Amino acid sequence: MTNIIEATHLRKTYGDTVAVADVSLTVQKGEIFGIVGPNGAGKTTAVESIMGLRKPDSGTVSVLGLDPQTQAQELRQRLGIQLQEASLPDYMKVWEALDLFASFYKQTVPWEPLLAQWGLSEKRNTRFKNLSGGQKQRLFIALALLNDPEVIFLDELTTGLDPQTRRATWDVVRAIRDQGKTVILVTHFMDEAEELADRIAVIDQGKVAALDTPRVLIQGLQAGSTVRFTGRNGFDAALLKGVEGVTAVTQQAQQIIVKGDGPLLARVAAALSQHDIVPADLRVEQADLEDVFLALTGREIRS
Ligand code: ADP
């Protein structure tokens, strides 16, 4: 594996605010690397320090073998950057934006295939303000890809998009990775990171709380599993308490929630059927990254 990014013990403070306390991470070539955590966790500060847009107080960074502070010019030619809350002047046309951004780079890819790839060919003469939310995002991605970058940074890419556009944007991100590029995806949406990222750094209060593949993070929870079903009126939760592997039974309105270890679904189903109870909606709930975050920090992430 080639490390495209190596960051060691990054720290950045603003007065009394410790934006990044201590962040170390490596990103490998060709992966989608998710950086997740709640708003204010220090994700953007860490990533912008890595890109050379901010100067960390301490720590070392290498991106594509370059030092972002001293070799910024050279590095900028090889990075694609879509910044959080990026915007363009309302009246700027799509082609004018491409023209402007192209002037920043020594080498750019041809626009036409790029516009076609992101479904913007018809929008070439459309003003920025008349693009839909999804089209704006695709334009920002196209602009970030204009210099055929080796690494592309996407920060809160889908914030404010409707669910359908979000999903379409996810496909776009996968397509970028499939072109052999390395993607750094900053998001406070756990489902997005879980869906897209090959590896994830969970950032909390300026530190890396965990770093691994989504699968390992979730498996590492050891939280056991959760079985849910609807209990009919008068259902007696006590009859599940003695069942092997069951550690807790709780009730929320008519929902019965059973937590435990081992083959929980089979054991709960067997115990219920002994009492002639056959709930139609008996199901196992899989842990997700939200649970990982809760387990790591003791707090829920707001998304
Ligand atoms: P995230 O991207 O995870 O939402 P940020 O990196 O934007 O987090 O912010 C981390 C903390 O640093 C927040 O408390 C934020 O208010 C603070 N912060 C970020 N940038 C600045 C800045 N330029 N000046 C002062 N405080 C900042």
Does residue 276 sit within a domain?
yes
Q: Could you tell me the residue range of the domain that residue 231 belongs to?
A: 224-286
CATH number at residue 174: 3.40.50.300
Q: Supply the pTM of this predicted model.
A: 0.81
SS (H, E, C) the chain: CCEEEEEEEEEEEECCEEEEEEEEEEEECCCEEEEECCCCCCHHHHHHHHHCCCCCCEEEEEECCECCCCCHHHHHCCEEEECCCCCCCCCCEHHHHHHHHHCCCCCCCCHHHHHHHCCCHHHCCCEHHHCCHHHHHHHHHHHHCCCCCCEEEEECCCCCCCHHHHHHHHHHHHHHHHCCCEEEEEECCHHHHHHHCCEEEEEECCEEEEEECHHHHHHCCCCCEEEEEECCCCCCHHHHCCCCCEEEEEEECCEEEEEECCCHHHHHHHHHHHCCCCCCCCEEECCCHHHHHHHHHCCCCCC
Does residue 194 sit within a domain?
yes
Does residue 128 sit within a domain?
no
Alpha-carbon distance of 275 to 288, in angstroms, equals: 32
Which protein residue has the closest C-alpha to ligand 1 atom 15? 40
In terms of domains, do 231 and 212 share one?
Answer: no
Give how many domains the chain has, as a whole number.
Answer: 2
CATH number at residue 276: 3.30.70.980
In terms of domains, do 271 and 169 share one?
Answer: no
Does residue 233 sit within a domain?
yes
In terms of domains, do 38 and 156 share one?
Answer: yes
CA of 87 to the centre of ligand 1 (A): 19
Last residue of a domain, one of 219, 242, 272: 219
pLDDT at 222: 62
In terms of domains, do 74 and 154 share one?
Answer: yes
In terms of domains, do 189 and 229 share one?
Answer: no
Does residue 121 sit within a domain?
no
| pLDDT digit string, tens, across residues 102-150 | 998 999 999 888 899 888 999 999 999 999 888 888 898 899 999 999 9
Last residue of a domain, one of 219, 241, 261: 219
Alpha-carbon distance of 5 to 302, in angstroms, equals: 28
Lining ligand 1 with CB less than 6 A are: 14, 17, 19, 37, 39-45
Alpha-carbon distance of 60 to 133, in angstroms, equals: 37
Does residue 52 sit within a domain?
yes
In terms of domains, do 70 and 169 share one?
Answer: yes
pLDDT at 303: 47
Q: Which atom of ligand 1 is nearest to the CA of 84?
A: 2
pLDDT at 190: 86
CA of 263 to the centre of ligand 1 (A): 44
Candidate of 10, 17, 185, 189 to mutate for ligand 1, largest count of ligand atoms within 8 Å of Cβ: 17
pLDDT at 12: 97
CA of 9 to the centre of ligand 1 (A): 17
Does residue 297 sit within a domain?
no
CA of 198 to the centre of ligand 1 (A): 26
Which protein residue has the closest C-alpha to ligand 1 atom 14? 40
Which protein residue has the closest C-alpha to ligand 1 atom 21? 14
In terms of domains, do 17 and 61 share one?
Answer: yes
Q: Which atom of ligand 1 is nearest to the CA of 12?
A: 12
In terms of domains, do 26 and 74 share one?
Answer: yes
CA of 80 to the centre of ligand 1 (A): 22
Mean pLDDT per segment of 10 residues, for the chain of length 303 residues? Answer: 92 96 96 92 94 94 96 92 78 94 91 88 96 87 92 86 84 91 92 93 94 86 79 83 87 87 86 87 83 77 56
